[in-house]
Chain A
């Protein structure tokens, strides 16, 4: 027992000694041409296949994009779209046709895409009250919700610019005269529904003020079930963004024509934003995005090229490994 103790102390002492003498056992990798070529080759051999796989995955995703913000304004109003959208008396119905060019396997995700919409503006992002969303009227301090804070001296539930500007276009999809079922449940993160939006918080006085922004909410449904709002309130990072609207849980065949009946309520005309409707399938990589695949292929092939170039250079200007004659003070004596 004491022996092992002493042994242990000895080793600890030795380790500490090695540390103070700066002679701890160390790995000292030296970059040799062999290593360099191997590393570049490996990178090439890994990235090209990975890139090809991701590209393939990306190509297998079918995506239909339809911009509807201009088309859905009737001809006579196109000169002054803003007054059209702001005039409540004009019906905003609109029909769009989307042709499926390739077989789409369910679930098909429905997104609306807004461009040039700065949901990441600081003033906008900050204008919300997470505590109120969770606790409702029990929570009184809604000062962070400026400028959409109070209505008749009472805090608006939910308060803040984000909620106030809720997106309110709505879509229905018809294929061969039968309405496609759109599942609008589970479009928000589960943790948001469970932990961030109150189950007993109801938007009783939402959009009652003088200035109506975007969509209204059913005051009878608690916030945790208002998934549109939850999705909307996850502010997007960039001024051009998609948000999930729902899912079509039926496969769509190629050459199917889908009629979209939409109500064009949301005002993007004031600031020149675009509105698009997107139908897209998804796979392990998510949506259709070739960037990653391209990047991998480019990196992989340039690594291969580098490996080849470096090998050639190395063969031509070979420098002996660890040759002291390359040291400057030796070089001098060689020349001198």
Chain B
């Protein structure tokens, strides 16, 4: 039983981790309600905190962790064992560890040092990387832990204390713009009413301020001295990661008061707009919600890396097979021939060659062979790839073209695991707001009392019409569109007011930026207080009052004195734009206290500004389920008003009979706004009788005072009761501006063959319009629409709807099949239909249809659905998906997708923290995928294939030699030669290849986005390629080995008549291998900078240098290699001739292959490379070169300014 509940709790935590940022006010799940029923004191809610008495927390059971946090993976003691464990979890590394262990038991065919040294080298580099990363984390922690905060000591003085010394129960004083050191219970603030404003950007990524409010009983504790007598106990929930819940009560002066999340100040949030607060530490260190909430994003592995594992397994099986052959061969020799080899003196002393126990000897030989042929396994592959990826990441981060000057941010590759995965993306799932659009809301249009104002063309219109290649004439175009939508209204008003001419002018001068940020409204009927001449003056005034009062924002007096204008902070950018708009219209919201809102109104009756106070009676908050918010205020006349704003459907449902005067016209305006891609909100109000209000208020206060799960329900019911019989005033439309370069970028991505899905919470019309605007949908596309009209009530209806949807899907799919490949398709589906389409039966059909469409738009989807879609698409298609988003609601999607990209834009850090790559602008996605992704994919696949080739070629020569030594386990090469092979002699060129290789330059990549298709189709890392390279390795090894033994044996190979022994034969063969593998990489490389030249030819040279140095060591160290180059092989002409011949012959098969491929079956990159060559020639002829040089100069200057910000 207990286990079951704990499991349930674990599940809950996991879900909440995924979606805890989904929405600030997300509705509680049923499970949470269930959990919430448990009362304080029960398991899970047993924490007790003795305020102002931290010494009570020194002993159990009230001993809680200190406030010291540590995000490091290791500590000094655990580093070695844990890091080693991590390293040897890799199969290849573990194998080499075993080999090293066997070498200690003298089982190995090599010397101990030569087995252990490369392993130490490789593991050492990886561990060094881990250590450096962890050290950085440690330093960060140190910074955090050493911050100070004013803390009350037992003698009543407040002194600076570092965060790490803070204990539960301490009373602290936090000043303006300081971070909270731990989770605090708010006791009082510098404001009399005990409110404070906090910024929670680090927690949920929202930039707006949130109001926290202390309990009334603790209001008095607002001075240092007050705390001398303060004593209280808090009973509350145990530490948990839920940011938006807090259950507890405060026992103060023998009474118990309920606590809610609004008294809890969370660690990592910041105090704003409040001079200071007093608080008591409730949760410290690792108990804090912020720390509990931080999850490391799931580690993702790229497709190539997973395939690489399979290659390693193949090589392992090859290794085992060859070892079996060797061990059987050895035992055959041992039992048949070897007895007669008197020169071996076979006795019982040698386990490997014990004629009396051939089975045991065979077993030992097997182990020895396993180690001997270990060169088939590329030991340095993983470490090289790690190094390469870190360098690639560095280059991506440094790309000046992906640097946004406006925000001073550049692309950040937050993990280096997925570089090459960027080149294989097949599907992009994108959020809309903040990703495609800026999330800078601009007040654009409004409809007041049935009249529409502000008929400007929007950005969206502009882009859409550009796409349609219409002969662009802004005025007429706009007229057409509004005409169709609003029929005669607009025309009528134009003629009445005669504004059409001015309007036209305003539209034509559209290009200039709005002077006021967030306000892009031009209509002289309302501007400059002209609205006073309008009809329905009372409705217009009321409309502006709702605009100015119904919100949670606060004014900021930044440059008030200069311009007389305030700026605002609010929960959403829309609210800010409303406040700015109302200020422009003459209703300046200038002050807010706990219970009072002050407006500077322009009074049309006396034609001057008056300051009016509104008493704030109630605030019914916005939530995504309610889709509305209201304030209840009483004005100076004592009139009680409910001002409400919300989604049009919600408001329209709650209108009173006499409030529907403008409903028809307003609805038409709404439709046209939505078609223009604007966000709309409807405004309404009602007057409340004092008596009615009183009775309602008592009920509502009661509901507010209840603790426990039913509280939400009661509050819901309460607000439902009063938000009724509304009178419609009008609607506003705000524009979400498209980000720079979005349509072009999406166009290029579509050309690159990527399928793009738009997942948005917006209305269908808005979504489709944005779809057209950013060229997701094109007029030449066939559109399918899937929607479900009704809400399902019973099971039967669900069934019926399912069938309905299924039918829609099937008919669409039929059409798609009929039209074939000629046309392109777009699919639009709304949230409800999606819910059905993603459920069991219909799922496969839906996905089949959807993946065949070029673009898909899902509207009205919840964050949870976003993640679900991502997962299903990923599972169904098996292709690589990339999710891009900016807000907390995209976190699920970003973590679910193969690659998560966060926009480091307006909405803060949450998406970025969960992402693998962060971009300052959506348009950078193009270069990131088409250039960097393509390059990295090519590089890594070439690199892995080359590694396979190199090690097969080298490892097999060891096996061939065994055939000539009766499988006795003798090695042709000196131990140190082999140690050098992977570590020095062949490592640098492949790293240079992995970091710097370019099949075509970045400009050309961008010019031919279709080249990107090589990645998703995976032609550079297909199994045929892998097998091809293995065969190439086999051929190379055969050529090298056979040529050497036939040329060098048995006759003399030098003028002085000397013959070759093991040492010289090995050295010569090894020279051939070094030359061949290094020349092979020169053949693969298509882009030689001096670095490649240096590494390739330098590697070959370093072999000779090594030979010289090694040969110069005294003979007891160098053994057979003593003076081998200068005395034995160097002077022989045959040595050099063999090198040349063998290198050429062993490269010939590959060379012929690429010649045939290039000449007769060219791949895309081949042709484009040729074109690039042609371009270059052209460039030299005309002066385009100088233009590109100018561009380079410009970028260089940006680069200089980026790298040296201090100068």
Contacts and interface: CB of A to CB of B under 8 A. Distances in A.
Contacts of B1159: 33, 36, 310, 313-314, 317, 319
B1133 interface: yes
B1088 A165 contact: no
A121 B965 contact: yes
Contact of A189 (B1008, B1055, B1127, B1200): B1127
Interface residues of A, number: 97
B781 interface: no
Given A20-B395, A242-B1052, A324 B1171 contact: yes
29 contacts: A13-B1200, A21-B400, A22-B399, A24-B1091, A30-B1173, A36-B1155, A109-B1052, A120-B1062, A122-B965, A124-B344, A146-B350, A189-B1128, A237-B1061, A237-B1066, A238-B964, A238-B1050, A239-B965, A239-B966, A247-B1057, A271-B342, A282-B1055, A282-B1056, A284-B1055, A286-B1055, A288-B1051, A289-B1053, A291-B1046, A319-B1159, A322-B1170
A313 B1164 contact: no
Given A146-B349, A247-B1057, A270 B1196 contact: no
B1169 A28 contact: yes
B670 to A, nearest CB: 43
Nearest to B969: A122
Nearest to A146: B349
Interface string A170-208: 000000000000000000011100011000000000000
B818 interface: no
Interface in B1110-1165: 1114-1116, 1119, 1122-1123, 1127-1128, 1132-1134, 1137-1138, 1141, 1144-1145, 1148, 1152, 1154-1155, 1158-1160, 1162, 1164
A153 interface: no
A303 to B, nearest CB: 8
A321 B1200 CA distance: 40
Given A123-B350, A161-B344, A285 B1133 contact: yes
A56 B785 CA distance: 83
Contact of B1134 (A30, A272, A286): A286
Contact of B1002 (A22, A27, A124): A22
B636 interface: no
Nearest to B346: A123
B1043 A236 contact: no
A310 B1151 CA distance: 13
Which 4 A-B pairs give the minimum distances between C-beta atoms? Answer: A287-B1051, A322-B1170, A109-B1057, A287-B1052
Contacts of B1010: 327-329
B1051 A244 contact: no
A243 interface: yes
Contacts of A97: none
A47 B1143 CA distance: 13
B695 interface: no
Contact of B1053 (A22, A287, A323): A287
Nearest to A320: B1170
A283 interface: yes
Contact of A22 (B996, B1063, B1119, B1144): B996
Contacts of A324: 1167, 1171
A327 B1014 CA distance: 12
Contacts of B1091: 24
B1088 A29 contact: yes
Contacts, number: 268
B1145 A299 contact: yes
B1065 interface: yes
A35 B1065 CA distance: 35
Interface string A305-336: 01000100110010101111011110000001
Contacts of B1115: 130, 134, 191, 195-196
Interface string A267-310: 10011100000001011111111011001100100000010001
Nearest to B1162: A326
Interface string A142-155: 00001110000000
A30 B1196 CA distance: 29
Contact of B1199 (A17, A107, A113, A236): A17
Given A22-B399, A190-B1127, A195-B1115, 12 more contacts: A23-B1001, A30-B1169, A118-B968, A121-B341, A123-B344, A148-B345, A237-B964, A272-B340, A292-B1134, A295-B1141, A323-B1167, A327-B1168
A43 interface: yes
A14 B1141 CA distance: 42
A262 interface: no
A1 interface: no
Contacts of A30: 1086, 1169-1170, 1173
A271 B341 contact: yes
Contacts of B1122: 191, 195-196
A299 B1141 contact: yes
B1162 A14 contact: no
Interface residues of B, number: 101
A131 interface: yes
B1187 interface: no
A287 B1088 CA distance: 42
A328 B1011 CA distance: 10
Nearest to B345: A147
A313 B1156 CA distance: 10
B104 interface: no
A213 interface: yes
A122 B1086 contact: no
A60 interface: no
Nearest to B968: A122
A121 B401 CA distance: 62
B584 interface: no
A211 B1061 contact: no
A210 to B, nearest CB: 12
Contact of A147 (B349, B1046, B1134, B1168): B349
B970 A26 contact: no
Interface in A1-30: 13-14, 17, 20-30
Given A14-B1196, A28-B1088, A196-B1115, A241 B1059 contact: yes
Interface in B331-353: 337, 340-347, 349-350, 352-353
Contacts of B968: 118, 120-123
Contacts of A261: none
Interface string B1184-1206: 00000000100110011000000
A39 to B, nearest CB: 8
A25 B1089 CA distance: 6
B1174 interface: yes
Nearest to B971: A122
A243 B1065 CA distance: 15
A286 B1062 contact: no
A329 B1043 CA distance: 46
Contacts of B109: 122
A295 to B, nearest CB: 6
Contacts of B1133: 284-285
B1160 A319 contact: yes
Contacts of B1086: 28-30
Given A29-B1088, A191-B1123, A295-B1141, A124 B1160 contact: no
A234 interface: yes
A191 B1120 CA distance: 11
Nearest to B1126: A191
B1031 interface: no
B398 to A, nearest CB: 4
Contact of B1059 (A17, A236, A291): A236
A288 B1050 CA distance: 10
Contacts of B1062: 120, 125, 235-237
A50 B201 CA distance: 76
B397 to A, nearest CB: 9
Given A20-B398, A271-B337, A271-B341, A283 B1057 contact: no
A215 to B, nearest CB: 12
Contacts of A148: 345
A31 interface: yes
